[in-house]
Amino acid sequence: MEFRLPNLGEGIDGGTITAVLVRPGDMVKAGQNVVTIETDKAAVDVPIESDGLVEAVQVKLGDKVAIGTPLLTLKTGSPAPAAAAPRPAAAAAAPPPPVATSAAANRAATGDTPSFHPGQSPATSSASAAGATTAFNLPHLGEGIDTGTITAIFVKPGDTVKAGQNVVAVETDKAAVDVPVESDGTVVSVDVQLGDKVAIGGKLLTLKALTPTTAPTAAVAAASVAERESAASPARVAATTSNGRVATLPAAPAAPPVPVPRFDIPASPATRKLARELGVSLSEIRGSGRGGRVTLEDVKAFVRNERQRLKDSGSLAPVPAAAASGSIVNVFTLPPLPDFSKFGPIEVTEMPIIRQTIAKNLTIGWRTMPMVTQHELADITELEAGRKRIVEALPKGSPKITMTVLAIKACVAALKEFPRFNSSYDMNAGQLILKKYYHIGIAVDTERGLVVPVIRDADKKSIRDLAYEVASLASKARENKLTIDEMRGGTFTITNLGGIGGTAFTPIVNYPEVAILGLSKSTLQPVVKDGQIVARLMMPLSLTYDHRVIDGADGCRFTVRLAQLFSDPLRLLMET
């Protein structure tokens, strides 16, 4: 029978699947939640209406479904009993029906052909005599990245892969990334399709080890599978005794496993969002809600307890009482918007992932640090004239020396003189991290949104080197070819709007940096010079800084120093 999306309430005609809580082969009970769906009004857990065996899941994360859409194929009635006696794998004529996961270890140790779910081939089962099968999941791709879209698949079932071989390409909100497999094996199945959105920890492939595994190893692997399949059943492992017989024993206590990000843990979208923003894995948290569901309060309590543990161990400086009470961790939870369609015609469009990430990062920076913007005018008359002479003398096809390139040189000189502008502030630990390297971020406007590639070791590069690297990174940014590493590690950022216009603006600091320089359009302005009113080319500078780290007087001194460097090309060359 098919289980379809039931009516969720007045005015709700559908929503987006945000969590799938069951998989093929699971036994479900009436009233058990099987998916979570986010509607325009709320996140809703959808319970099954009757007992049965899940034969197929007909939706995946991110699917938009209407009321009445099939969600699961369910087989009602009791499953067939499990095979009673172990058999060698070579003698197995047919796979047994599904059995309780607590027997998984025995099957692995004895060479039994393991059970598999309806519609699944024996090749995709959890263990075999030729070696254990394991899931290869989407690994951690970088700070702030929690999902990606599959843009290419480089392998197919039956292929043999080596550790380090790229198997899929993923486009994140920051870059396109090739994902290498972590171990040798044979591809049993490819569990994603082009266009799928996959969360960190989401399954990509099923791999089979190239060599047979020993009984204890297979048992441990099967026990791991059993633990994932059914947290309710106590794990048991198989061990070979001195007389060669196999005994099933309770699993011995072991060190806690390293938490792996999972997306099948029941939690609302708001809870997942808060956990991501706080850098917490849901797999670390014991859910207090129905069916082990992790709630907002569970996340807050976990953060409070972890802070207290670190504080007690001396690894964390005391935090304000507001943080201990949970008010700080809740600042990112926003109230839902009203239904604007009640007031007139509207158009709703999906916000691109990169814009969502920009919004999150800007919100973090804005709410984390008190920002001040200092404005100044730099006389770039001589500098611009010299820049034009150099550009005209360069061979055709050479990278163009732009004002952004010269700004990098000026900023490096000023950062060396004012090292606090090249730092990050760890408020939890009460520490200021002064960086002895100068990696300058360059804001690039693309069709996908604003990206910030980083010029590494800018203090060690010539103007021509910088010109080439700025042009190369800007081109890669616009073609969506930047790698994650090319956008990491910045210590100070420059954003240049001079090519568009404007007289001044207030750029927002690129957290966790503490300062950013904005350049606006240079214009000819009347200036008093040597007692005469003359026309000079003036460029507006807008420096925003973190007032927790930098005082207003230093902010003004830094900006004035930049203006001096821009106004005197010889001084700029001497300083750098």
Residue 545's domain comprises 354-575
User: In this predicted structure, what is the pLDDT of residue 11?
Assistant: 63
Is residue 68 in a domain?
yes
Tokens, residue 198: 């996959």
Which among 499, 515, 362, 507 has a CA at the least distance from the CA of 424?
515
Catalytic machinery residues = 547
Is residue 83 in a domain?
no
260 pLDDT more than 60: no
315-319 long-range Cβ contacts below 8 angstroms, 24+ apart: 316/428, 316/429, 317/428, 317/429, 317/430, 319/428
Domain termination residue (choose one: 41, 75, 109): 75
For residues 342-358, give the mean pLDDT: 84
d(CA 377, CA 360): 32
Is residue 347 in a domain?
no
According to DSSP, residue 358 is labeled H
Same domain, 122 and 189: yes
Burial 98-108 (b: 16+ CB within 10 A, else e): bbebbbbbbbb
Higher local confidence (pLDDT), 115 or 373? 373
91 pLDDT more than 60: no
We report the CATH number of the domain holding residue 313 as: 4.10.320.10
243 pLDDT more than 60: no
Domain termination residue (choose one: 250, 283, 304): 250
Whether 516 contacts 508, CB under 8 Å: yes
We report the CATH number of the domain holding residue 447 as: 3.30.559.10
For residues 10-29, give the mean pLDDT: 83
105 pLDDT more than 60: no
Q: What is the CA radius of gyration of the chain?
A: 30
Burial 51-80 (b: 16+ CB within 10 A, else e): ebbbbbbebebebebeeeeebbbbeeeeee
**What is the rounded (10 degree) CA torsion for 353, 358, 360, 361?**
140
Is residue 411 in a domain?
yes
Q: Categorize the per-residue pLDDT at 66 as very low, low, confident or very high, splitting at 50, 70 and 90.
A: confident
Phi/psi for 521 (5° steps) reads -65, 130
User: In this predicted structure, what is the pLDDT of residue 253?
Assistant: 43
492 pLDDT more than 80: yes
Q: Is the peptide bond before 370 cis (omega within 30 degrees of 0)?
A: no
Q: Per-residue pLDDT tens for 437-451? A: 999 999 999 887 788
Same domain, 569 and 490: yes
Q: Per-residue pLDDT tens for 162-208? A: 888 889 888 877 666 778 888 888 999 999 998 888 988 889 999 98
Higher local confidence (pLDDT), 90 or 277? 277
Q: What is the largest CA-CA distance in the chain?
A: 105
User: In this predicted structure, what is the pLDDT of residue 94?
Assistant: 40
User: In this predicted structure, what is the pLDDT of residue 213?
Assistant: 43
Domain termination residue (choose one: 46, 75, 104): 75
Is residue 349 in a domain?
no
Same domain, 429 and 565: yes
Residues of the chain above pLDDT 90, percent: 33
User: In this predicted structure, what is the pLDDT of residue 520?
Assistant: 97
Amino acid at 97: P
CA 379-382-388 angle, to 5 degrees, is 120
382 pLDDT more than 90: yes
Among 63-67, 363-367, 452-456, name the most confident range. Answer: 452-456
Same domain, 177 and 48: no
Strand partners, 180: 166
Same domain, 408 and 498: yes
d(CA 481, CA 444): 13
| pTM of the full structure | 0.50
Same domain, 315 and 222: no
Phi/psi for 222 (5° steps) reads -65, -40
Continuous H helices in 313-402: 321-324, 353-368, 381-393
Same domain, 444 and 557: yes
Same domain, 378 and 440: yes
Same domain, 549 and 425: yes
Same domain, 507 and 392: yes
Beta pairing class for 160-161 and 185-190: antiparallel
Q: Per-residue pLDDT tens for 430-482? A: 899 999 999 999 999 988 778 899 999 999 999 999 999 999 999 999 988 88
What average pLDDT does the structure give for the chain?
A: 77
Is residue 138 in a domain?
yes
491 pLDDT more than 90: yes
User: In this predicted structure, what is the pLDDT of residue 229?
Assistant: 40
Q: Categorize the per-residue pLDDT at 117 as very low, low, confident or very high, splitting at 50, 70 and 90.
A: very low
Same domain, 508 and 408: yes
d(CA 247, CA 252): 14
Which of 238-252, 384-398, 506-520 has the least mean pLDDT?
Answer: 238-252
SS3 448: coil
Beta pairing class for 27-28 and 14-20: unpaired
Q: Cα(first)–Cα(last) distance of the chain, in Å?
A: 74
Which of 61-70, 265-274, 337-346, 371-380 has the least mean pLDDT?
Answer: 265-274
SS3 297: helix
Residue 466's Cβ-side half-sphere holds a number of Cα atoms within 13 Å equal to 25
518 pLDDT more than 90: yes
408 pLDDT more than 80: yes
Report how many domains make up the chain. 4
We report the CATH number of the domain holding residue 238 as: 2.40.50.100
For residues 230-239, give the mean pLDDT: 42
Is residue 552 in a domain?
yes
Same domain, 113 and 187: yes
50 pLDDT more than 90: no
User: In this predicted structure, what is the pLDDT of residue 142?
Assistant: 67
Is residue 516 in a domain?
yes
